[in-house]
């Protein structure tokens, strides 16, 4: 009786180990397949690797050669704004005043082993340093009422950035990309600042997932 139970337990343990090993192989295979299909040679791409809306590889590079990533300034001079008497005007202005911090936070959290900082002023001309800069094309707060009452994506807050990734030492642009993200879920329809900053963090995470493929 005890021998039979022991054999059954051993078989179950072997089966569980085999299932776990198969799952790990599947995950590893998916990661390799994803990396294999992501084009990194110079050229312009849409829906790059299913992650980035539009991406242009200006010059080939190896992300492993860089240890620091500096998030620089973002041009907001042409970003459409709500009417000044609208209740969304001040929240949008607040987010536009500091686009870099949410991006840097997401990059820092998703790029282990890399130093990520916001940049005040001119970028240093140092080897091994990348600079992220760009402009804000859209910072649309959406409608909190529509989010609360409508659901299913109604009234979503929308953020769209156009960015460049630059080699600090040479000043050479390596990548250009455009990315849009939307958020429509939050307590009571979601606060405007919270959702717009969430969009920025999501864009930062998108970039963090893309960079190691180079």
pLDDT of 185 over the 90 cut = no
Beta strands in the chain (DSSP E): 43-48, 52-57, 68-75, 115-118, 129-140, 157-167, 173-183
Instruction: Answer whether 116's CB lies under 8 Å from 69's CB.
Output: yes
> 79 pLDDT band (50/70/90 cuts)?
very high
By percentage, how much of the chain surpasses pLDDT 70? 75
> 14 pLDDT band (50/70/90 cuts)?
very low
Give the whole-angstrom CA distance, residue 68 versus residue 71: 10
- Centroid of chain to Cα 41: 21
- Centroid of chain to Cα 108: 11
Mean pLDDT of the chain: 83
> 17 pLDDT band (50/70/90 cuts)?
very low
Q: Sign of torsion, CA 78 47 208 143?
A: positive
Give the whole-angstrom CA distance, residue 209 versus residue 197: 18
Order of strands, edge to edge, in the sheet holding 68-75? 43-48, 52-57, 173-183, 157-167, 129-140, 68-75, 115-118
> 144 pLDDT band (50/70/90 cuts)?
low
| Averaged pLDDT, 155-182 | 95
By percentage, how much of the chain surpasses pLDDT 90? 68
Instruction: Answer whether 166's CB lies under 8 Å from 133's CB.
Output: yes
Q: What does the pLDDT look like over 27-75, one tens digit per residue?
A: 344 444 444 589 999 999 999 999 999 999 999 999 999 999 999 999 9
Look at residue 142 in the predicted model and tell me its pLDDT: 82
Q: What does the pLDDT look like over 83-117, one tens digit per residue?
A: 999 999 999 999 999 999 999 999 999 999 999 99
Considering only residues 99 and 151, tell me which one the structure prediction assigns the higher pLDDT. 99
Look at residue 32 in the predicted model and tell me its pLDDT: 46
| Averaged pLDDT, 170-197 | 85
pTM of the complete model beyond 0.85? no
């Amino acid at each position: 009786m005890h021998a039979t139970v022991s054999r059954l337990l051993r078989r179950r343990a072997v089966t569980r180990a085999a299932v776990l090993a198969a799952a790990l192989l599947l995950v590893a295979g998916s990661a390799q397949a994803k990396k294999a299909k992501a084009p990194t040679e110079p050229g312009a791409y849409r829906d790059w690797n299913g992650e980035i809306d539009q991406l242009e590889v200006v010059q080939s590079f190896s992300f492993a050669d860089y240890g620091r990533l500096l998030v620089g300034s973002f041009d907001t001079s042409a970003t459409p704004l709500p009417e000044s008497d609208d209740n969304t005007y001040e929240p949008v202005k607040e987010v536009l005043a500091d686009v870099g911090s949410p991006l840097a936070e997401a990059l820092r959290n998703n790029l282990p082993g890399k130093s990520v900082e916001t940049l005040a002023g001119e970028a240093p001309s140092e080897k091994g340093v990348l600079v992220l800069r760009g402009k804000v094309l859209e910072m649309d707060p959406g409608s909190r009422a529509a989010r609360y009452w409508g659901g299913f994506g109604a009234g979503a807050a929308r953020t769209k950035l156009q960015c460049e990734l630059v080699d600090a030492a040479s000043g050479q642009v390596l990548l250009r990309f455009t990315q849009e993200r939307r958020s429509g879920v939050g307590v009571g329809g979601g606060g405007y600042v919270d959702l717009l900053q969430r969009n920025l963090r999501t864009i930062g995470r998108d970039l963090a997932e893309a960079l190691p493929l180079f």
